[in-house]
Amino acid sequence: MNKDNFVKSTETLKQTVPLMIKHKVPTTPANYALWYTYVSQESPLLNQAIDGEIASQGQCTPTACEQLYHQHIASKAVQDISQLKQSLTLMMQEVSHSMTDTLTETESFQLNLNKGFTQLESAEREGLSLEETLGLVRGLIKESRNIQLSTGAFKSQLNTAQQEIASLREALHESQKEANEDALTHLFNRRAFDRDIDSLQQKSLPFALIMLDIDKFKIFNDTYGHQLGDQVIKAVSRRLKESCREQMQAYRYGGEEFAIILMNRNHSSARQHAETLRRSIEKISVLDRRNGERINTITASFGIAERNRTENAEEVIRRADQFLNDAKKLGRNRVLPIS
Q: Mapping DSSP to helix (H, G, I), strand (E, B) and coil, where does residue 79 land?
A: coil
111: nearest Cα among 84, 82, 146, 79: 146
Do 295 and 224 touch, CB atoms closer than 8 A?
yes
DSSP state string for 176-212: HHHHHB-TTT-SB-HHHHHHHHHHHHHTT--EEEEEE
Residue type, 273: H
311 is annotated as an active-site residue: no
Given the residues 256, 275, 306, 311, select the one marked as catalytic.
256
Quote the CA–CA distance of 315 and 111 in Å, as a whole number. 79
Do 309 and 207 touch, CB atoms closer than 8 A?
no
Q: How far is CA 134 from CA 29, 99, 109, 126, 140, in A?
A: 66, 32, 18, 15, 10
Residues pairing with 211 in the sheet: 259, 303
DSSP 8-state class, residue 84: H
- For residue 29, whether the previous peptide bond is cis, meaning omega lies within 30 degrees of 0, is no
Do 216 and 332 touch, CB atoms closer than 8 A?
yes
Q: Packing angle between helix 29-40 and helix 3-22, nearest 10 degrees?
A: 120
Quote the CA–CA distance of 99 and 151 in Å, as a whole number. 9
Q: Mapping DSSP to helix (H, G, I), strand (E, B) and coil, where does residue 106 land?
A: helix
| Residues with a known catalytic role | 256
